[in-house]
Each structure stands twice: as C-alpha cells, then as structure tokens.
Homo-oligomer: A and B are copies of this chain.
Amino acid sequence: MSNEEKKNYTIGIIGGTGKEGKGLAYRWVKAGHKVIIGSRQWEKAQKAVEAVSDLLGGETELLEGMENRDAVAGCEIAVITVPYAAHRPTLEGLKDVLGGKILIDVVVPIVQPKVTKAQMPKAGSAAQEAQEILGEDCRVVDAFQNISHERLTNKGDIDCDVLVCGKGKAARDVVLRLVEDAGLRGWDAGPIENAVVVEGLTSILIGLNIQHHVHASGIRITGMPDQE
C-alpha cells in the first residue's frame, strides 16, 4: 500500500442510512473521500446526509444523498449495509450498475432467533451469495462485519480489527486502504471462501456480548512483528 499513490474515491453506500452506513460515511469523509449515502427513498438519504454533516461540523461538500441506484451509478466503490433479508433482492435490483466495481459487503447473515449460531446461506456466506448474484464482473469483498456499529460514529479508537476477505488481492488491497482511512486496522484474510469465518465470527461475538453483558466485543490479531 505504501507505494500506491493516495487517491480519494467516490464511495456509494447502499442502504447507508443506518448506524453502520452513517458511521462509515462519517469516517471516510473525514479522510477526504466523497461519499454518496444511498437509500430506497431520496428523502431518507438527505436526512442521513444531514446527520453525518452535523457529526462533521457542517461539512457538506464531500457528502451527498441519493436513491440506491443513483448512489451506485455515481460511485467508484460500492458498499452494502442492509439487513440480511434485503441483501439478495437489493443486489439483484442493482446488478447492472454494480458491473466493473468493487462491492464492500458489510452484511452478516444473522438468522433470528438463533443469532449466536453461525447460519450461512447456501452459497457459503453472504459475500459468496453476492458474488453469485453479481457475476464475475463485480468483485465482492467482506469487511467491517465484526465492528460494533455504534462505535463507528465515535471519535475514539475502536478496539477491534477488520478482517478483509474477497475476490482478488487487488480488490482486497483497495478495501484495506479504506479500512485504514476509516481509522481501523485491517488484515488481508484471504479469498472469498473465508467469508464464512469473517461473517460467522459475528455470531460468536454476539454470544460473548450476551454472556458478558457488553455491547462491543471484538477481536485483535496478535503475534505480528510490531507486537513481539
């Protein structure tokens, strides 16, 4: 990454009006990226833009709100943060505009009521399901599954690393840079087949939250050169 020229992206967040989408938008705009918050309804997207703009002390230049389709059409890198039930229909409806792009899939296939049990879709994971729906022309990369959403709008450090796995090292490297720009430490967790681990880990963390009465259990990678 160090040899790569710094570049600011235009990032479109599908379903970006929730806590996670707003939190990512906040952090990326702060890092100099342009963010288009997408929603099924234009009005909701505007409201989310206002909320994020407030967090940023009135910043508006790098923020925009659009319907999901326009947000994707206008972006270089797309992000999806919708409840799992909306994952497939949303992607099916946006397949044509996602072609040629990287899609950062933040969705976890949580199945009620057994939220502490990893229950993956037939494709193996939400990311693989997305990849199947979108075809080879879009590169799907998992990230941010294990981050507590509330923490993203905090200014403070988040005590959780981000595992990045997905289609192709080049796409993962772009996402790793966006993880860093969001103020988090990311790790290349390998091919999209590892998405079951990254997504399933969320169920384990939810279980730990319940057992230990906390709200934001997470993970850190250890044993790296700077830690020895």
Contacts and interface: CB of A to CB of B under 8 A. Distances in A.
Interface of A: 116-120, 148, 159-160, 163, 165, 187-191, 193-194, 196-198, 200-201, 203-204, 207-208, 211-225, 227-228
A103 to B, nearest CB: 20
Contacts of A165: 204
A189 B214 CA distance: 15
Contacts of A223: 148, 159-160, 214-218
A91 B198 CA distance: 29
Q: Do most interface residues of chain A lie in helix, strand or loop, or is the interface mixed? A: mixed
Given A163-B204, A194-B204, 5 more contacts: A118-B194, A148-B223, A160-B222, A200-B200, A214-B224
A101 B222 CA distance: 33
B197 A117 contact: no
Given A197-B200, A201-B201, A204-B165, A224 B217 contact: yes
Contacts of A159: 222-223, 227
A22 B54 CA distance: 58
A193 B220 CA distance: 23
Given A219-B219, A222-B159, A223-B159, A197 B190 contact: no
A141 to B, nearest CB: 14
